[in-house]
Amino acid sequence: MNRRAVITLRRGKEESLDRFHPWVFSGAIASMPEGIEEGDVVAVESADHRFIGVGHYQIGSIAVRILDFGDTVIDKDFFARRLTEALALRSTLCLDRPDNDAYRLVHGEGDFLPGLVVDIYGKTAVVQAHSPGMHYCRDMIAMALTELDMLEVANVYYKSETTLPYKARLDPVNEYLIGGFDTNIATENGLQFHIDWLKGQKTGFFVDQRDNRALLESFSRGRSVLNMFCYTGGFSVYAMRGGARRVVSVDSSAKAIALTSANVGLNFPDDNRHEALAEDAFKYLDTMANGEHDLIILDPPAFAKHRSALRNALRGYQRLNFKAFEKIAPGGILFTFSCSQAVSREQFRLAVFSAAAQSRRRVRIIKQLTQPADHPVNIYHPEGEYLKGLVLYVE
């Protein structure tokens, strides 16, 4: 075995790991040597000293995130292999095309790299660490990214100021690890977007709605579209291309509204079908006229960031969807989403069902949506499924 600190589990606590679930909870640990530090690579063994895997240690409820179930050295070659595998999947999905250069290359556990997210925008990779271990590996990851055949990464921007556990006191700095600022216009399905990885939310763009935006486009012809929580205006731009009669984009952040206007302008200069408003979504729905819109998108931020917030989150989804059901025109289509990982598909559907019943409208589910294929779910880690959406036909 390679020389690493060894964490020994309590009897029976290896069961989920034997089924390839990649997390060791702190309560499962029987013993570990003194001096282990957050971010260390450790080996994990069962109570009877059977080797289980290697992973990154951290303080908290998830104590180890398994990187490999073999006795593997975690070095640049390891990351190069994993990144090559991740890229092989994206190549199969044909996401790197002349008309599309924005996609997720690494989706944490879904790409067997727990704690790591990498989004690609043209020649720039935006790297986000969610664990101290990945934070310490950032330079190796950046090097491995630029050395990938088949992918032309010239700039690697590291953006983990808000994603690392605060208590770890890592004081991460958002910065370029390789290269520097490049054109920040990325192309998604032939549409152009300014991506603000320096100051924007997450890695600068929500690539996870790509397929759902394309679906929305196909429903947009002749409709009056209301894009709630628009952020960069992704859904709005697709609706415009789909032939919407009118598009209203709403976000409480003035910065988001400026981004949306810029993105609409980039694709449809001087097109007066679009209007962007910096306003609270709930307020807008309260004051909007009945039947003003017949295609509404509700894509709010995660209402439940943790399990403890679940009840309030479900109430929030119900309240929001009820307001949309109340106001949407007959024959309207509602795209409604939840990106809270703590809210299950069933719980979300129940919240929307309750809202529909409260509004007494006739509502049918015409599509059930999820995250796209570049956000894969490791079958042994069902927690990786987070995006849920319903497309509803409202009479």
What residue type is assigned to position 16 of the chain?
Answer: S
299 binds ligand SAH (CB under 6 A): yes
How far apart CA 382 and CA 378 sit, in angstroms, is: 7
Q: Which stretch binds ligand SAH (CB under 6 A): 28-36, 225-233, 237-245, 370-378?
A: 225-233
Number of neighbouring beta carbons within 10 Å of residue 258: 15
Report, in Å, the least distance between residue 239 CB and ligand SAH: 11
155 binds ligand SAH (CB under 6 A): no
Binding-site member from 237, 281, 324, 342 for ligand SAH (CB under 6 A): 281
Report, in Å, the least distance between residue 10 CB and ligand SAH: 41
Considering beta carbons, is residue 57 or 335 the nearer one to ligand SAH?
335
All residues at 6 or more sequence positions from 83 whose CB lies less than 8 Å from its CB, including other chains: 105, 106, 118, 141, 144, 145, 148
Using CA atoms, how far residue 94 sits from 17, 100, 189, 192, in Å, is: 33, 9, 11, 18
253 binds ligand SAH (CB under 6 A): yes
301 binds ligand SAH (CB under 6 A): yes
Binding-site member from 66, 116, 216, 256 for ligand SAH (CB under 6 A): 256
Binding-site member from 187, 252, 261, 354 for ligand SAH (CB under 6 A): 252
317 binds ligand SAH (CB under 6 A): no
Q: Which stretch binds ligand SAH (CB under 6 A): 79-87, 188-196, 228-236, 365-373?
A: 228-236
What DSSP string runs through 337-358? EE--TTS-HHHHHHHHHHHHHH
Q: Of 94, 137, 230, 339, which is the active-site residue?
A: 339
Considering beta carbons, is residue 23 or 219 the nearer one to ligand SAH?
219
Q: Which stretch binds ligand SAH (CB under 6 A): 114-122, 124-132, 156-164, 295-303?
A: 295-303
206 binds ligand SAH (CB under 6 A): yes
Q: Which helix (H) or strand (E) holds 24?
A: strand 23-25
How far apart CA 253 and CA 376 sit, in angstroms, is: 30
230 catalytically annotated: no
Considering beta carbons, is residue 57 or 206 the nearer one to ligand SAH?
206
Considering beta carbons, is residue 148 or 258 the nearer one to ligand SAH?
258
Considering beta carbons, is residue 213 or 223 the nearer one to ligand SAH?
213
103 binds ligand SAH (CB under 6 A): no
How far apart CA 19 and CA 21 sit, in angstroms, is: 6
Backbone angles phi, psi at 46, to 5 degrees: -80, 175
Report, in Å, the least distance between residue 116 CB and ligand SAH: 21
Binding-site member from 209, 336, 347, 371 for ligand SAH (CB under 6 A): 209
231 binds ligand SAH (CB under 6 A): yes
* Residues binding ligand SAH: number (CB under 6 A): 18
Binding-site member from 10, 280, 364, 382 for ligand SAH (CB under 6 A): 280
Report, in Å, the least distance between residue 138 CB and ligand SAH: 25
Q: Which helix (H) or strand (E) holds 282?
A: helix 281-287
Q: Name the 3-class secondary structure at 327.
A: helix
Using CA atoms, how far residue 35 sits from 24, 42, 52, 160, 221, in Å, is: 19, 12, 21, 25, 63
All residues at 6 or more sequence positions from 344 whose CB lies less than 8 Å from its CB, including other chains: none
Burial of 292 (0-12, 13-18, 19+ CB in 10 A): middle
Place of tokens 């095309």: 97
Catalytic residue ranges: 339
Footprint on this chain of ligand SAH (rule: CB under 6 A): 206, 209, 229-232, 234-235, 250-253, 256, 280-281, 299-301
